[in-house]
A and B are shown apart, each in its own frame.
Chain A
Amino acid sequence: MILQQIINGISIGAVYALIAVGYSLVYSVLNFSNFAQGEILMIGAYIGFFALTLLNLPFSIAIAIAMIGAGIVAILLEKIGYRPLRLRSSPLLYFMISAMGLSIFLQNFTIVTIGPNFRTYPPDVIDTKPFSIGGVYIGRLDLMIFAITVISLMLLTWFIYQTKQGTAIRAASYNMRVASLMGINPDWIVSIVFFLAGATAGVGGMLFGMKYTVYPWMGILTIKAFIAAVVGGLGSLPGAVAGAFILGITETFVAAYVSSAFRDLFSFALMILIIVIRPGGLMGVVTQEKA
């Protein structure tokens, strides 16, 4: 029974990890949290859904389209909502308000155009029958979610640590101004970062949609991913992944053994506890703001 809960926790933790990585990536370069991430996830889920149902594409192509589509939407959002503020070096508050505006717009635009109803992914996309190993049921879907998450995160790690663009991103996350003096185009870096964050969110959205359903306000799920990123330390990619799995597993245990109603309450309590004890999160560094 305990093992079963751990597996369920890992499954939901994997989806959180995909989204939390996006939060941390944007935070590490731009020092603010892109709160419109949730809506990018929702758009990714819808793109994947329509690619499968309307266009009858195979699963692997649908997930690639969802990834690229969500990535492009993320770049567009950055260009529309954040870039003008970035150029003016506006206070953090304006970024948060702009993010909220983008979220409200996308969410309600989806409700008005596509409709507010819940949609389920077609059941014949993949074999979802669970199989059991030693009395523990493992859903094929859960296994696949875990595998896709691991592959995506490995690709992301490879990109950031092995390529030239990745090196530029890491340089920008240390100091954007110095990086741009070294000939790195900040706009280009920010676009890449938003594309990566959007793409991982798109995959996360599609996986979440397959496990549960797709609906216009599913973006609210990313609050959990944000909590995971905070628990692991905002700005740290390994921290985000670790935080996501910690949150996923503990949350599942609370739901199973205490009460499912208090699951979300527990998550917020965990976040507040972490920022009281260790404001930088598990693997983050506490930065002192300087003038």
Chain B
Amino acid sequence: MSTYLQGILILAGINLIAVLGLSLLTGFTGSFCFGQAGFLAVGAYVSTLITMKFNMPFPISLVTGMMAAGLISILLGYPTLKLKGDYFAIATLGFSEAIRLVIENLDKITGGARGIPSIPTRTTLPLVILIAFIATVCIRFYVISKHGRNSIAVREDETAAQSIGINTFRYKQISFFINCLLAGLAGGLLAHYVGFIQPAMFGIIKSTELIVMVIFGGMHSVTGAALAAVILTALPEILRAAAAWRLVAYGAVVVFIMVVRPEGLLGSWELSWTSLRILWASLKPSLPQKR
């Protein structure tokens, strides 16, 4: 396989991991997170610093990056998730901007705006595929578990969910925590694949791209979001000529989806063997029934 194709696949896998958490948080729990890039940045910087300053093995630095992002989710989620969604959206957006400023100004540790060059590249394609697969399966099973169904109830109607005894705040916090763990993991993988990180990589555009993937693929479908992550990572590579118009189109498509089909590409339909078999059966010309 050419390194170019391999590179696209690795990036698609990393985006997929970051999008899975967002799908759980925004799609299934209904909390709009506008600052996913900030959590990616935390994972990327923490894992890179662990690798480079302490010479730790790759798995340890990845897990530390995940934990750092998870810790922040607890600190940030505690005050903001109790309130209406507006506050949470702005708090995550504000956090991702603030973390970028902090990274830019902690010159001695993070290299400031210039970033950290020559990070040992340790992310390989099989590793990314393995992690992406495990994460997809885990999130899918979480969503259909009792806890996942509770999260969906929170999304559908918070007051009603509360009245049947669901601790809505706790489920929002769990979803946010899982989202940040996955974002931190994706950030660590990204840093150890590209070999170079700088604050500009984790701007609002990155957050936008990730949330658009969730909306595009289907707010209520784990595999839909995963599919959209792969497609929307590969698409810009094919449509290089129209690069400038890409974000214009994203914006228009997002509004269009919200107005016409808010549930997104796949809606709540999941990609699985059963659903594929049903689809296949419906496509087959129906045989005349025997009398």
Contact = CB atoms under 8 A, between A and B. Distances in A.
B85 to A, nearest CB: 5
Interface in B247-290: 247-248, 250-259, 262
A33 B254 contact: no
Interface stretch (B60-68, B98-106, B140-148, B183-191): B98-106
Given A33-B86, A268-B94, A271-B91, A108 B101 contact: no
Interface in B100-134: 101-102, 104-105
Interface residues of B, number: 50
Given A102-B255, A220-B204, A276-B79, A291 B163 contact: yes
A234 B211 CA distance: 26
Given A220-B204, A265-B101, A289-B158, A96 B95 contact: no
A100 interface: yes
Contacts of A104: 208, 212, 247-248, 250-251, 254
Interface in A253-290: 259, 261-262, 264-265, 267-268, 271-272, 275-276, 279, 289-290
Interface string A5-41: 0000000000000000000000000001101000000
A64 interface: no
B182 to A, nearest CB: 20
A227 B84 CA distance: 14
B19 to A, nearest CB: 15
B39 to A, nearest CB: 15
Contact of B95 (A33, A102, A226, A268): A268
A261 B101 contact: yes
B215 A97 contact: yes
A217 to B, nearest CB: 8
A126 B244 CA distance: 36
B245 interface: yes
Contacts of B160: 291
Interface stretch (A79-87, A158-166, A170-178): A79-87
Interface stretch (B10-18, B26-34, B170-178, B224-232): B26-34
A223 B86 CA distance: 12
B244 A111 contact: yes
Interface string B135-160: 00000000000000000000101111
Given A84-B259, A101-B252, A271-B91, 4 more contacts: A96-B32, A97-B211, A100-B34, A272-B79
Interface of A: 32-33, 35, 80-81, 84-85, 90-94, 96-98, 100-109, 111-112, 220, 223, 226-227, 230, 234, 259, 261-262, 264-265, 267-268, 271-272, 275-276, 279, 289-291
